[in-house]
Amino acid sequence: DAMVIQNPRYQVTQFGKPVTLSCSQTLNHNVMYWYQQKSSQAPKLLFHYYDKDFNNEADTPDNFQSRRPNTSFCFLDIRSPGLGDAAMYLCATSSRGTGANVLTFGAGSRLTVL
């Protein structure tokens, strides 16, 4: 089945130690998103790629970076994780064309910062 796969599902890191989360998709969608979700809150969009075009949300901290080396893969890099960065990180994809934009989500990567 076509899907969105996130790795790792669980990541434990130390304060200040860089972390990379990955996302791959077999849907051939041209848009990929990274969301941060803290407990019992709505997902918060960090940034997204429309094809190769990177779009950063205005309030996304500089500590968060992203790479999309090809259509199928996207990475979230947290350069110096703080305690406040502990959260679930959700990757999503969509096919941007005419009509509504339906997002397909991965299962998420839960980050713990010690």
Partner 1 sequence: AQSVTQPDIHITVSEGASLELRCNYSYGATPYLFWYVQSPGQGLQLLLKYFSGDTLVQGIKGFEAEFKRSQSSFNLRKPSVHWSDAAEYFCAVGARGGSYIPTFGRGTSLIVHP
Where on the chain is the footprint of partner 1 (CB under 8 A)? 4, 6, 31, 33, 40-43, 45, 48, 90, 92, 94, 96, 99-108, 110
- Neighbouring CB atoms inside 10 A of 9's CB total 11
Query: Closest distance between partner 1 and the C-beta of residue 80, in Å?
Result: 26
CB of 14 to partner 1, least distance (A): 23
Kindly tell me which of 102 and 114 has the beta carbon lying closer to partner 1: 102
Q: What is the 3-state secondary structure of the chain?
A: CCCEEEECCEEEECCCCCEEEEEEECCCCCEEEEEEECCCCCCEEEEEEECCEEEECCCCCCCEEEECCCCCEEEEEECCCCHHHCEEEEEEEECCCCCCCCCEECCCEEEEEC
d(CA 46, CA 90): 10
Beta carbon of residue 62, minimum distance to partner 1 (angstroms, whole number): 21
Comparison of 86 and 103: residue with beta carbon closer to partner 1: 103
Shortest distance in whole angstroms from residue 17 CB to partner 1:
23
Our CB check for partner 1 shows the closer of 19 and 48 to be 48
Closer to partner 1 by CB, 79 or 105: give it: 105
